[in-house]
Structures are given as C-alpha cells and as structure tokens.
C-alpha cells in the first residue's frame, strides 16, 4: 500500500508564499522529493493538497483502508481543527505530522496543534526536507 502525503491550506502556493519562512521549493518540487525518497525505499506515495477541511477529512478516512502510513502537513488546520483530529484518531496506521517551518519557534498560536494528539511523531523545521524525512519515518514505521 502507498504512503499518503496530505497537505493542507495555502500549501498550493508554496514557493511564492512567504518564501523566507517556507522556502522557494514549490509543492510540485516537494512531491518529486517525496516520490524519489519513497521509491528509493521501494515504496510509493499518494500526494495530495487541499484548501478545504472536509476534503482533507475525506482523504484521512480513505487512508484507513488505502494507505500503509499517513504523512500530513495540516497547515493552519492543525491549530484549529478538532474534526481533523477526530478523523485521525480513527486511523490504525502510523501518522507523521510534518511542517516546513518550526512552529514551536514562531507565534504562540502555532505552538499547539490538535494533530499532534493523534500523531505518532512530528517532523518540523527542515523546509522541504521535512516531507522527505517524514516519508522516511512513515516507510520505517510501516515496514
Ligand atoms: C505550517 C506551519 C503552520 O503554522 C502554518 O499555518 C502553515 C504551514 C508549516 O508547514 O510550517 O500553513 O504547517
């Protein structure tokens, strides 16, 4: 089964969105990095992004049956969405929360994420490499 890699709101604009914080790589660049890292480990990824909370929840529910592990950058919804947390709590596969920036070093409202309550582990602060490292962790945990 593939590793699902989900990205939340505003990450479609990666590369042009506050590049001093999130880097110059586009989400397409990040997808290629994830695909390459997965294939080097003999694995595959399903890579998706949505600006919509309900769409992300639908994909998390889908991952219950279709994925071996889930990498999720919930973006702003990590800080707000109990519904996303509730969906994640139904997963029996490893969940790796991933952030490009290090939210713990930023504004106080970014210090808490609901997603962390359901995550197996968190990778933050390494830019696009956070996703690669998260895919690696997902592969290891679901081996
Ligand atoms: C983010 C950090 C969040 O605080 C922010 O709302 C994002 C991106 C990150 O990848 O660093 O949209 O998840």
Any atom of ligand 1 within 6 Å of the Cβ of 43:
no
Q: What angle do CA 94, 98, 101 make, to 5 degrees?
A: 165
Condensed to tens digits (0 to 9), the pLDDT of residues 104-142 reads: 999 999 999 999 999 999 999 999 999 999 999 999 999
Query: Is 29 annotated as belonging to a binding site?
Result: no
Contact (Cβ atoms closer than 8 angstroms) between residue 60 and residue 84: yes
Query: Is 79 annotated as belonging to a binding site?
Result: yes
Condensed to tens digits (0 to 9), the pLDDT of residues 31-52 reads: 999 999 999 999 999 999 999 9
Backbone CA torsion sign across 85, 50, 32, 91 = positive
pLDDT for 5 equals 98
pLDDT for 104 equals 96
How far, in Å, from the CA of 120 to the mean position of ligand 1?
18
Catalytic residue, chosen from 77, 99, 114, 131, is 99
| pLDDT mean across residues, the chain | 97
Condensed to tens digits (0 to 9), the pLDDT of residues 51-93 reads: 999 999 999 999 999 999 999 999 999 999 999 999 999 999 9
Question: Which domains does the chain carry?
Answer: 3-141 (3.40.50.9100)
Q: Return the structure tokens found at 75.
A: 């973006």
Any atom of ligand 1 within 6 Å of the Cβ of 80:
no
**Is 131 a residue of the active site?**
no
- Residue 122 three-state SS: strand
Decide if pLDDT at 143 tops 90: no
Q: What is the ipTM of this complex?
A: 0.99
Strands (E) in the chain, as ranges, are: 3-7, 45-49, 69-73, 95-99, 121-124
Query: Is 73 annotated as belonging to a binding site?
Result: yes
Any atom of ligand 1 within 6 Å of the Cβ of 99:
yes
d(CA 138, CA 70): 7
């Amino acid at each position: 089964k593939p590793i699902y890699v989900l990205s939340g709101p505003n990450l479609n604009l990666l590369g042009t969105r506050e590049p001093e914080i999130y880097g110059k790589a586009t989400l397409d660049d990040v997808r290629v990095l994830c695909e390459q890292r997965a294939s080097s480990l003999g694995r595959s990824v399903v890579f998706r992004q949505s600006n919509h909370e309900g769409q992300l929840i639908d994909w998390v529910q889908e991952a219950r049956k279709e994925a071996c592990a889930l990498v999720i950058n919930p973006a702003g919804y990590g800080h707000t969405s109990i519904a996303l947390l509730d969906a994640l709590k139904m997963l029996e596969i490893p969940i790796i929360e991933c952030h490009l920036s290090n939210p713990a070093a930023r504004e106080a409202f970014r210090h808490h994420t609901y997603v962390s309550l359901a995550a197996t582990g968190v990778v933050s602060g390494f830019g696009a490499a956070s996703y690669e490292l998260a895919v690696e962790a997902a592969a290891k945990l679901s081996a």
